[in-house]
Structure formats: C-alpha cells, structure tokens
C-alpha cells in the first residue's frame, strides 16, 4: 500500500543556497523524506487563522532544516550552574567534571542522556554527535556488556526522538608524555588502541537512528604511535573521526615539548587529518596548522559557549572559513543548549576580536548549524529542505518577545532555543507547541542530575 505523504505549508522556509527565507513554501514528506518543495505563487497565501490549506498543515513562523549538534558530552549537563563559584580555568573545571563522571552507570547515564537529548530536541537539534569516553566501571573494569554505556546513549537518543552518531573515543593516557590513567580517568581507557578498536568494533547498533564513529580524545590522551590505529579503524568503516584539538595553549606547549611539533602537525604526521575528520575547538592553531587543516580538508567544530565558559579563548573562525575549512557547531559541555546562540557567537566573537562587524552572513551560520554539522556526523542526507533529504523541519516563532518585528533572515541574531515551536525528525513530530511529546524535560533533568551530582 502506498504511503500517503504529509503536507506542511511553511509561512517561511529557508531553502538551500537561498540568502534569505522564502515565503509560503509547501513541503511534502513521504516515508521520512522530503518528496516535494514548492514555493507557492504570490497571492496564494492562506488567510490568517486558516489551519489547513490544500490538505497541508500550516507552520506559522520560519521553518529551518534540522540543526546538528556536532559535539556533545551529555553528562556535562549536570555541571550547568555548578562550576562558576570561583576563579580557575579548564583544568580546575575538569576536576569537577571528573567527580560527576565517577558517579555514572548505564542506568543513571540513560536517564540523564535521555533528558539532555530531549532538551536538544526542544532547541531544534535533530542530530547529535556524542563524544563518548565513559566506557567502563569507575575502577576501570569492563561491564558485562563492554559497550553498556554506549548502548545507554543509543537508547536515550531513541527515547528523545533524535538521531545519534556515537563517536566512540579512544582515551588511553593522562598526558602528552604518556602518563597512565588514574582516578576517575581509569574508566575511560581500554589499555591500548588495539583493545579500543576491538571493543568499539564489537558495538553495532541496528537502530536506524544511530551510527558509530570514532574519536581521538586529544594528543594528551592517545600516544602518538597509536593515533594511526584509531584513524585506520574509522577509515575502514567510512565512519566520521573527531578529535579535540588545541583547546588550550598548554596542550600546544606540552606537545611541542614532547614531540617537537604542534598537535595539528602531529595528527597530520600520523594520518588523523582528512575529509572525514572534524577537529573540535581548534582555538589556538598556528598559521601552519590552518594550512594543514585546509589542505587535508579537515573540518572544524566550534563550541563558542563552552570555549568562553571555560576561558579557553576565541578560535580564528573567519581565517578558517577563508582557508576553505568547513565549520560546524557544538554545545560541548552544555553550559547552554542553543544552536542559535552558538551560531551567532561565531560572528559576535569575531567582532570582539577584530572590532569590526559583518564576518559571516546569516546563510553561513545556517550552514554551520545545519548541513555542515550533519555531514560532520556522517548524515550527508540531512540539514537541507530539499527533495530527497531527511524530513527534519524546525519551526521557529516569529512572534515571541525576542523575535517580534524581526525579519525572518535575522532569526540567528534574535531567536533562541525557547522560540522553537515544532520539530519534525525523519518525518515524525517530536516537539509541538514548544513541548516535547514524550519526555517531561524539566522534571527528568532535575531527577537525573540530582542522582549523579555529589552532595
């Protein structure tokens, strides 16, 4: 029996390669894919208050393609509002993060990640890349199912109604010079890259919403002679490969001291860079590093709210874009889960650095938040309102206290996650009237965070 298509009439829709949103667009969805996109002829717009037009459901406001959160550590959400009481930097914050990591198990992580991913859905995020290194028990021993923690994340994303790329992360050493893991870090490690590959390769979720990629945590956490093992594992599977890169100046200094080169140069030497690789942060690259990233077609995922929360610095986004490096976005530590904020921060941070305005056009920001992020996570068929693409539709109100009077093209400079009215993922409504249809997000977040935060 043929599948009856669903028809949506968007007041405005942002179509691929269009500098501004298009008014009155009929979007037809069949079997989770966009079957037709038809801008209506002028004058055919339905009258105000009419909810159905030619069997189509109206979407008042601006409809965007689904947003992709290309870098997430779901358990960091438990730290929001708890790490700001004094001075410090990334390294002092990391100690507080480890305290939460030490308290998680597959059941508590499922509960927390389910609520966090549902919060992402409320923000218009239809796909997330989870940079996952909480592999084992707190003492470093394996669970009966060695991938129990990863399986919990896959299940959590299913409950929340979004897609997941599980970036199984190799985390093998505590420092650039190869110091062994200790304390809370013990649960991150597999011993060596060969054993990491064996465990990661044994996890093959059959759920259509999930796929597995790989990650090198950083040059601090994977010895140089084991980097290629991780890269080869990803390439053999045609899977995305991500890596934390030059997040703090100390990482660069330590890498130079031990290896005589920058982290980017070390990764290039050992085959980590490439078109399927995404470097996360890249806050402190040299000019030579940018050339290596561009020449290898490596992408960069910027996480501006985390980078400023941890006082890491401002990455050279405009120089990266000018070099041809594709940019995507992530919420990382979830100090905020709001891709609109991450996107506009790319432009606003450049203004702070240069004291000039106008570095990124609105379409550039939409591309980073949408199609580029999906591609970085291995979902090249998502992030565009176009025939054949996955039917991910995010409708943003244009009549809220933040967006009233704002032209649709200005949404990334005015709207926030709270303005998302409806979210459709693979043709299925997940959020309606600003509410998640299956998860009580505030209640579940409160309970899950209370269960894993130290008293």
- Alpha helix stretches (DSSP H) within 317-440: 317-322, 339-354, 362-369, 371-376
Quote the pLDDT of residue 210.
Answer: 98
Quote the pLDDT of residue 1.
Answer: 36
How far apart CA 196 and CA 272 sit, in angstroms, is 16
Residue 355 neighbours by CB distance under 10 Å: 7
**Kind and range of the H or E run holding 197:** helix 193-201
Check residue 344 and report its DSSP letter: H
- Token pair in block for residue 294: 């561009």
Q: How does pLDDT run across 249-283, given as a tens digit for each residue?
A: 999 999 999 999 999 999 999 999 999 999 999 99
Q: How does pLDDT run across 422-441, given as a tens digit for each residue?
A: 999 999 999 999 999 999 99
Quote the pLDDT of residue 96.
Answer: 83
Quote the pLDDT of residue 43.
Answer: 56
Query: What are phi and psi for residue 115, nearest 5 degrees?
Result: -70, -40
Cα–Cα distances (Å) from 102 to 85, 92, 131, 186, 223, in that order, read 21, 16, 17, 10, 24
Instruction: Map out the domains of the chain with their CATH numbers.
Output: 6-65+384-436 (2.30.40.10), 67-377 (3.20.20.140)
* Residues marked as catalytic: 281, 332
Bridge partners, 413 (sequence order): none
How far apart CA 143 and CA 106 sit, in angstroms, is 9
> Mean pLDDT per 10-residue run, the chain (455 residues)?
73 96 96 95 58 78 98 95 70 78 95 98 98 97 98 98 98 96 94 98 96 98 98 98 96 97 98 98 98 98 95 96 98 97 98 96 98 98 98 98 98 98 98 98 97 83
Cα–Cα distances (Å) from 111 to 66, 254, 309, 322, 441, in that order, read 24, 37, 25, 42, 11
**Kind and range of the H or E run holding 281:** strand 277-281
In the block, tokens 């909480």 appear at 134
Quote the pLDDT of residue 82.
Answer: 80
How far apart CA 343 and CA 345 sit, in angstroms, is 5
How far apart CA 212 and CA 153 sit, in angstroms, is 11
- pTM of the predicted protein model: 0.95
């Amino acid at each position: 029996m043929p599948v009856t298509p669903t028809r949506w009439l968007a007041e405005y829709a942002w179509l691929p390669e269009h500098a501004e949103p298009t008014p009155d667009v009929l979007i037809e969805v069949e079997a989770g894919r966009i079957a037709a996109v038809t801008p209506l002829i002028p004058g055919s717009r339905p009258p105000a208050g009419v909810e159905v037009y030619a069997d189509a459901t109206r979407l008042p406001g601006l409809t965007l393609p689904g947003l992709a959160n290309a870098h997430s550590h779901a358990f960091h959400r438990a730290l929001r509002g708890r790490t700001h009481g004094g001075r410090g930097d990334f390294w002092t914050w990391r100690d507080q993060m480890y305290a939460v990591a030490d308290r998680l198990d597959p059941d508590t992580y499922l509960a927390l990640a389910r609520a966090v991913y549902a919060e992402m859905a409320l923000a218009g995020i239809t796909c997330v890349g989870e940079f996952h290194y909480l592999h084992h028990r707190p003492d470093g021993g394996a669970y009966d199912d060695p991938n129990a923690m990863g399986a919990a994340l896959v299940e959590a994303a299913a409950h929340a109604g979004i897609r997941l790329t599980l970036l199984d992360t190799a985390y093998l050493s505590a420092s650039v010079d190869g110091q062994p893991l200790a304390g809370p870090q013990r649960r991150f490690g597999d011993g060596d890259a060969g054993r990491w590959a064996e465990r990661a390769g044994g996890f093959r979720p059959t759920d259509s919403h999930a796929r597995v990629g790989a990650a090198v945590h950083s040059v601090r956490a994977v010895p140089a002679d084991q980097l290629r093992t991780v890269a080869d594992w990803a390439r053999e599977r045609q899977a995305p490969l991500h890596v934390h890169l030059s997040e703090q100046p100390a990482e660069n200094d330590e890498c130079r001291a031990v290896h005589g080169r920058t982290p980017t140069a070390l990764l290039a030497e050992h085959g980590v860079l490439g078109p399927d690789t995404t470097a996360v942060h890249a806050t402190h690259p040299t000019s030579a590093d940018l050339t290596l990233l561009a020449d290898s077609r490596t992408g960069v995922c910027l996480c501006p709210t985390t980078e400023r929360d941890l006082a890491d610095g401002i990455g050279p986004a405009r120089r990266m874009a000018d070099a041809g490096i594709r940019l995507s976005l992530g919420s990382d530590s979830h100090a905020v889960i709001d891709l609109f904020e991450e996107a506009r921060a790319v432009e606003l941070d450049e203004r702070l650095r240069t004291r000039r305005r106008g570095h990124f056009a609105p379409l550039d920001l939409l591309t980073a938040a949408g199609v580029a992020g999906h591609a970085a996570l291995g979902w090249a068929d998502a992030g565009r309102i176009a025939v054949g693409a996955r039917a991910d539709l995010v409708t943003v109100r244009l009549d809220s206290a933040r967006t009233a009077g704002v032209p649709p093209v200005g949404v990334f400079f005015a709207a926030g996650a709270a303005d998302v009215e409806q979210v459709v993922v693979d043709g299925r409504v997940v959020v309606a009237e600003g509410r998640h249809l299956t998860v009580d997000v505030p209640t579940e977040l409160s309970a899950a965070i209370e269960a894993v935060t130290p008293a």
